[in-house]
Amino acid sequence: MRKPLFILLLSIFSVQAFSQHSEISGTVKSSDGAMSLPGATVILEKTADQTTKGIVTDIEGKFRIGKVDTGQYTIKVQFIGYVPYNKALNMQGKPVDLGDILLAEETTTLKEIEVIGKAMAGIQKGDTSQFNADAFKTTRDASAQDLVEKMPGIVVQDGKLQAQGEEVQQIMIDGKPFFGNDVKAALQNLPAEVIAQIQIYDQKSDKALLSGFDDGERTRTINIVTKPNRRKGQFGKATAGYGTNDKYLAGASVNFFNEDRRTTVTGLSNNINTLNYSSNPNSLGDTRTQNGLINTNTLGINFIDNWNDKIDMSGSYFFTHREQEGNELKIRDYVLPSDSGQVYTQNSNSTSVNAHHQMNMRFDYKINDKNRLLIRPAISLRDNKSDSYFEGNTDTNNGPLNYTENTSHSDNFDYDVYNRLYYSHKFDKPGRSFNININTGYHTNGDDSYRLANNIFYKAEDSNEELKQYTHLDREGFDWRTQLSYTEPLGEKSMLELEYKVGNTLNDSDKRTYDYLEQTGYSLLDTAISNTFESKYLTHESELGYQYKTEKLRLQFEAEYQHASLSNDQLFPKDYTMDRTFQSILPSARLVYKFSKSKNIEFNYRTWTNEPSVGQLQDVINNSNPLQLSTGNPDLEQAYSNWLRTRFKSHDPETNKTFYAAVQASIVNDFITNSTLIAEEPTEVAEGIILEEGSQLTKTVNMDGYVNVRSYFSYGQPLDFVSSNFHISGSVNYSRKPGLINNEINLANTSHFRIGTSLSSNISEQVDFNISTRASYNVVENTLRPALNNNFFNQSTRLRYNWVLWEGLVYRTDLNHQLNTGLAEGLDNSYILWNMSIGKKLFKDQLGELSLNVYDLLKQNNNIRRNVSDAYVEDIQSNVLQSYFMLTFTYNIRRFSEGTTENDYEKLYRN
The predicted-structure confidence for 188-222, as pLDDT tens digits, reads as follows 778 888 888 888 888 888 878 778 787 777 788 88
Per-residue model confidence (pLDDT) at position 108: 39
Segment 28-40 shows an average pLDDT of 72
What are the distances in angstroms from CA 168 to CA 56, 225, 266, 288, 773?
24, 17, 21, 17, 21
Answer whether 596's CB lies under 8 Å from 664's CB: no
Segment 257-277 shows an average pLDDT of 88
Residue 138 burial (10 A CB sphere; 0-12, 13-18, 19+): buried
Instruction: Write the CB contacts of 60 (distance below 8 Å, at least 6 apart in sequence).
Output: 27, 36, 38
pLDDT digits (tens, 9 = 90+) for 418-443: 999 999 999 999 889 999 999 999 99
- Sheet with 160-163: list strands edge to edge: 154-157, 160-163, 166-167
pLDDT digits (tens, 9 = 90+) for 758-816: 998 888 878 888 899 999 999 989 888 787 788 889 999 999 898 888 888 999 999 99
* 707 against 59, higher pLDDT: 707
Query: Strand, helix or coil at 581?
Result: strand
Least confident of 141-150, 435-444, 471-480, 897-906: 897-906
Q: Over the Cα atoms of the chain, what is R_g?
A: 31
CA-to-CA distance for 77 and 99, rounded, in angstroms? Answer: 13
Return the closest-CA partner of residue 196 out of 80, 109, 40. 80
CA-to-CA distance for 653 and 130, rounded, in angstroms? Answer: 11
Which amino acid is residue 860, in one-letter code?
A: Q
**To which H or E segment does residue 717 belong?**
strand 706-719
Per-residue model confidence (pLDDT) at position 112: 37
Which amino acid is residue 907, in one-letter code?
A: K
pLDDT digits (tens, 9 = 90+) for 508-555: 999 999 999 999 999 999 988 899 989 999 999 999 999 999 988 999
CA-to-CA distance for 881 and 398, rounded, in angstroms? Answer: 39
Which amino acid is residue 499, in one-letter code?
A: E
What 8-state DSSP symbol labels residue 716? E
CA-to-CA distance for 444 and 414, rounded, in angstroms? Answer: 6
Query: Strand, helix or coil at 859?
Result: coil
Answer whether 698's CB lies under 8 Å from 739's CB: no
Query: Strand, helix or coil at 300?
Result: strand
Widest Cα–Cα separation across the chain = 121
> If pLDDT is split at 50, 70 and 90, which confidence band does 80 have?
low
Query: Within 13 Å, how many C-alpha atoms sit on residue 537's CB side?
Result: 21
Per-residue model confidence (pLDDT) at position 279: 56
pLDDT digits (tens, 9 = 90+) for 335-390: 877 667 889 999 999 999 999 999 999 999 999 989 999 999 999 999 999 999 99
Query: Does the pLDDT at position 610 exceed 90?
Result: yes
Query: Does the pLDDT at position 319 exceed 50?
Result: yes
The percent of residues above 70 in pLDDT, for the chain, comes to: 90
Per-residue model confidence (pLDDT) at position 72: 85
Segment 748-752 shows an average pLDDT of 93
pLDDT digits (tens, 9 = 90+) for 103-156: 876 643 333 333 334 456 777 776 788 888 888 888 877 888 888 888 877 777
> If pLDDT is split at 50, 70 and 90, which confidence band does 565 have?
very high
Whole-number mean pLDDT of the chain? Answer: 85
Give Cα 2 to chain centroid, integer Å. Answer: 70
How much helix, strand and coil, in percent to the nearest 5, is found in the chain? 10, 65, 25
- Is pTM beyond 0.85 here? no
Per-residue model confidence (pLDDT) at position 805: 84
Query: Does the pLDDT at position 700 exceed 90?
Result: yes
Segment 265-290 shows an average pLDDT of 72
Per-residue model confidence (pLDDT) at position 522: 94
Query: Does the pLDDT at position 405 exceed 90?
Result: yes
CA-to-CA distance for 770 and 516, rounded, in angstroms? Answer: 59
Least confident of 79-93, 325-339, 386-400, 601-615: 79-93
Per-residue model confidence (pLDDT) at position 282: 52
Per-residue model confidence (pLDDT) at position 666: 97
> If pLDDT is split at 50, 70 and 90, which confidence band does 11 have?
very low
**To which H or E segment does residue 410 belong?**
strand 399-426
Query: Does the pLDDT at position 17 exceed 60?
Result: no
